[in-house]
A = this chain, B = another copy of it.
Amino acid sequence: MRNLRFTISYDGTAYSGFQIQPKADTIQQRLEEAVYLLTGEQVKVASSGRTDAGVHAKAQVINFTTNSKIPVERWCLALNARLPKDIVAHTAEEVPLSFHSRKAAKRKTYCYTIRAVRFPDVFHRNYEYHHPTHLNVEAIREALPCLLGEHDFTSFCTVRTDKEVKVRTLYEARMVLETDELTGGGQIERIRIIVSGNGFLYNMVRIIVGTLIQIGEGKRPSSDMQRILEARNRAEAGPTAEAMGLMLWKVDY
């Protein structure tokens, strides 16, 4: 018995999220099918954490145990040949049997991308949220630092959750701006919100971003972020931002 760990990326557009569920097309099921086609084994694929319907992953980490003797360096090519084109395995390695991709994860990084110009970018249309009107990026930037460190993030967690402890630590909460190549005039085209932490509650990044968008729209002051955090009440925060803009960027162990 061997425990294999993979880095995979996926375009979540066509899927009902990572986790297997009845009558739905999921990343986990496609991965387990690919392993079955390759080895004949019915494995259970574990991940660093599930991603929701429409959410993407640049470098998700998964693992599963197998009796297959296929050398580790052949696994990615063999799996990719059995996976749909929107799921790709990039790296494979053998890890101790005790390794579990969720339990061992030390830090996760997400990136949420907002396209903040009038018309969508056809080439990124499934990978960024299109906000056609102006956003005040300075107001967004000012709202970020209060999220850093250890906090009870109850306000930024969907109410339908079974996790009782809502305390998480954020190591990074920053904004990266990209300007428009076409107009060339330095107009802001894309706003990326990058957050990393020791763990994230259900919908946490998307609720933080939904709140930041309201701040950028001038519907709330930047100082609201601190107030919402302290309120520990989901109703105080903004809406859950659309899934398509969210990408699991990397997982550190």
Using a CB–CB cutoff of 8 Å, the interface residues on chain A facing chain B are 7, 9-11, 56, 58-59, 76-77, 80, 85-90, 118-123, 125, 127, 182, 250
Contacts and interface: CB of A to CB of B under 8 A. Distances in A.
Contacts of A90: 119, 182
A125 B85 contact: yes
Contacts of A58: 123, 182
B11 A123 contact: yes
A118 B78 CA distance: 13
A85 B122 contact: yes
B59 A120 contact: no
Contacts of A56: 123
Given A59-B182, A182-B90, A76 B123 contact: no
Total copies of the chain:
2
A166 B119 CA distance: 38
Given A58-B182, A59-B182, A182-B59, A88 B9 contact: no
A99 B253 CA distance: 60
A192 to B, nearest CB: 13
13 contacts: A9-B121, A10-B122, A11-B123, A11-B125, A58-B123, A58-B182, A59-B182, A77-B119, A80-B119, A86-B125, A88-B119, A89-B119, A90-B182
Contacts of A125: 11, 85-86
A134 to B, nearest CB: 16
Nearest to A247: B123
Contacts of A9: 121-123
A10 B122 CA distance: 6
Contacts of A10: 122
A122 B59 contact: no
A122 to B, nearest CB: 5
A82 to B, nearest CB: 14
Given A58-B182, A182-B90, A120 B76 contact: no
Contacts of A11: 122-123, 125
A85 B122 CA distance: 7
A118 B121 CA distance: 27
Contacts of A59: 182
A86 B121 CA distance: 9
A120 B182 contact: no
A7 B181 CA distance: 14
Q: Which of A10, A11, A123, A182 has the most CB of B within 10 A?
A: A123
